[in-house]
Amino acid sequence: MFTSFFQNIINALQWGSFYSMIALGYCLVYGVLRLINFAHGDIFMVAAYLGFIFITFLFKYIFVGGGVSGWLILAITLPVVMFFTSVLGVFIERVAYRPLREKGAHRLYVVITALMVGLILENGNLALFGASSRKFPAIIHRSVISFSGVHITNLKVLVIIAAFVTFAFLQAIVNKTKIGMAMRAISYDKFAIPLMGIPVNKVIVFTFILGSSLAAVAGVLFGMSYPVLNPYMGMIIGWKAFIAAVVGGIGDIKGAFLGGFLLGFIEILIVSFFSSNLKDLISFLILLIILVIKPTGFYGVAKSTKI
Amino acid sequence: MSLLKITNLVQRFGGLTAVSGYQADIKEGSLNGLIGPNGAGKTTIFNLISGFYVPTEGTIEFDGTLINGKKPHEVTALGIGRTFQNIRLWHDMTVLDNIRLSQHYHLQYSLAGALFRSKQYYKREREIKEEALKLLDIFGLKKEADEFPKNLPYGVQRRVEIARALSVQPKLLLLDEPAAGLSSADVKELIDHIKWIHKNFDITILMIEHQMQVIMNLCEDIKVLDFGKTIAEGSPEEIQKNPQVIKAYLGDEGDIYA
């Protein structure tokens, strides 16, 4: 009983970490653009594939003989994947969202565009790699730390640490830096920003870089933890993370972060008592009830739209 | 010397001509008024100057640089600050943060410096805070520094907005109806504040205003706009006597008594 309790907590923390890292990406873009970037889950998927491609490339051409530390490979892979995922995020912003914004399109159209971008990423991937799943190369030897019956793999620890570190980093950026202050101001009212001499588009691009980088970290770590990749893997986890962000209070990064963990805990709790078939059904019922009681989420503030 | 030179400015929105053939030559250090009935195109002219719209025709030259077609943040960087008819403060950030955002953004330290708190970071932060507090002090807002604008009375919010516009250290300040919605006591205070900043800041001011008390008290040169066209210009005395202005504001007497 005791051991399974701790085992479940570790699992919940790990899943919560994935949800949180993705939810933060939704939250950042929503804060700055008031746009729910539905393509974000698929950006996460692309990041996992980029990790897969890059590591395969490394093994094939650079570290041919093997014998290289997996941690070194991870240390090389992460920044590279973060960079290319950011390029993708900024590219999407540039070709899909910005033109609409500059034409003064209603937000609804931008949200629909985001859904389409997500579908394009999924199907583009399908066209490139086919429908069969890909196996993410195992780079880090999975070691199990056990104490009194609780098994923790090094990967789980890594995922949880990564989530907390990225969150702390994000908090510092938003609260302590000039660009973070501009991001906060934009989230309240975009209109007066250029009058302070601040280029709005630059801040938006920076936001997409941050959000996409987080998705990249989540994508690579997810690939390492659950090494089966398919083009639709981003959809359901993206939606779940989005809902987690809303429950936490979208627009506040603390809220999104906690929302991700809340969902992780709810899911694991349900699995430990019921059949795992019921996992999504019951967890979303719970989240629905939370939203009915508190529509703004835990950290959200009721706000009327001013457009 | 002329600071802002506008020639033959035209702005059309679809079939509507909001501004037609507006000309202006605003001298450095002057205090200018722009008046006219609702819908005359006054705010449109402000939006054209500050880069929110790109003019259909005409040129806007500021301090020797052609600025039409430039983005709002570029125009601001050149030295134009403005306020809005309906107050656009960041209501969920403190008054102090509202004021120091512009300076904060142009700080000279790196992202890493901010994250790891270099010495230079603290020093600049302190300087900016002091500068911002000084600016607030001018408007008698020092004790409101940590309040949220949404909790402040309307007249105080107006002052915060003018202070914020000044925080970008503009050469030209555009005030869009600064006295709108103010009590007569607040209006008097506002006139004093504008006089003070005009004298002490080495600044040129162009203001839109409906309250004649403000315009006649402050402005040296006034332009009257009606349906996008300039119908009169001159000193306050001249404007007050101009029959066309009276007609535009009060309607044609003949219409009433006919």
What the block records as the tokens of B2 is 């002329």
pLDDT tier at A191 (50, 70, 90 boundaries)? confident
Are A220 and A77 a contacting pair, CB within 8 Å?
Answer: yes
| A chain contacts of residue B89, beta-carbon cutoff 8 Å | 189, 192
pLDDT tier at A306 (50, 70, 90 boundaries)? very low
pLDDT tier at A82 (50, 70, 90 boundaries)? very high
Q: Mutating which of B104, B120, B121, B166 best tests the A interface, going by the most A Cβ atoms within 10 A? A: B104
What the block records as the tokens of A3 is 């051991």
| A chain contacts of residue B92, beta-carbon cutoff 8 Å | 188, 301
Extract the runs of DSSP E, i.e. beta strands, from chain B.
2-13, 16-27, 31-35, 57-62, 65-66, 80-82, 172-176, 204-208, 221-226, 229-234
pLDDT at B257: 47
pLDDT at B116: 67
pTM over 0.80: yes
pLDDT at B115: 66
The residue ranges of chain B whose pLDDT is under 70 are 104-117, 250-258
Interface touch B114/A188, C-beta < 8 Å: no
Q: How far apart are CA A116 and CA A112, in angstroms?
A: 6
Are A191 and B52 a contacting pair, CB within 8 Å?
Answer: no
When CB atoms are compared, the residue of A173, A185, A198 closest to B73 is: A198
Least CA distance to A193: which residue of chain B? B73
Rounded alpha-carbon distances, angstroms, from residue A73 to A54, A56, A67, B54, B101? 10, 11, 11, 51, 41
pLDDT of A98 strictly over 90? yes
Q: What mean pLDDT value characterizes chain A?
A: 88
| A chain contacts of residue B164, beta-carbon cutoff 8 Å | 192, 196
What the block records as the tokens of B80 is 């134009």
Three-state SS string over B188-206 comes to: HHHHHHHHHHHHHCCCEEE
Q: How far apart are CA A90 and CA A101, in angstroms?
A: 15
Least CA distance to A170: which residue of chain B? B115
| B chain contacts of residue A178, beta-carbon cutoff 8 Å | 104-107, 114
pLDDT of A305 strictly over 50? no
3-class state of residue A306 by DSSP? coil
pLDDT at B258: 40
Are A28 and A184 a contacting pair, CB within 8 Å?
Answer: no
pLDDT of A39 strictly over 90? yes
Chain A residues with CB within 8 Å of chain B CB: 169, 172-173, 176-179, 181-182, 184-185, 188-189, 191-200, 301
The two beta strands, B221-226 and B31-35, are parallel
pLDDT at A159: 94
Distance from the A301 Cα atom to the nearest Cα atom in chain B, whole angstroms: 11
User: Which has more pLDDT, B69 or A211?
Assistant: A211
pLDDT of A22 strictly over 90? yes
Please write the tens of the pLDDT for every residue from A226-266.
Answer: 989 999 999 889 999 998 998 888 778 898 999 999 999 99
From the number of C-beta atoms within 10 Å of its C-beta (0-12, 13-18, 19+), residue A93 rates as buried
Q: Minimal CA–CA distance to A28: which of A165, A159, A205, A198?
A: A205
What residues does A19 pair with on adjacent strands? none
Distance from the A199 Cα atom to the nearest Cα atom in chain B, whole angstroms: 6
When CB atoms are compared, the residue of A182, A189, A192 closest to B105 is: A182
pLDDT at B254: 47
pLDDT of A297 strictly over 80? no
Interface touch B102/A189, C-beta < 8 Å: no
Least CA distance to A202: which residue of chain B? B73
Interface touch A195/B167, C-beta < 8 Å: no
Least CA distance to A174: which residue of chain B? B115
Distance from the B127 Cα atom to the nearest Cα atom in chain A, whole angstroms: 15
Distance from the B231 Cα atom to the nearest Cα atom in chain A, whole angstroms: 30
Interface touch B72/A181, C-beta < 8 Å: no
pLDDT at A34: 85
Are A256 and A26 a contacting pair, CB within 8 Å?
Answer: yes
| B chain contacts of residue A194, beta-carbon cutoff 8 Å | 51, 71-73, 76
Q: Which domains does chain B show, CATH number per domain? A: 2-89+168-257 (3.40.50.300), 93-147 (no CATH)
| B chain contacts of residue A168, beta-carbon cutoff 8 Å | none
Interface touch A185/B91, C-beta < 8 Å: no
Distance from the B168 Cα atom to the nearest Cα atom in chain A, whole angstroms: 6
Interface touch A195/B72, C-beta < 8 Å: yes
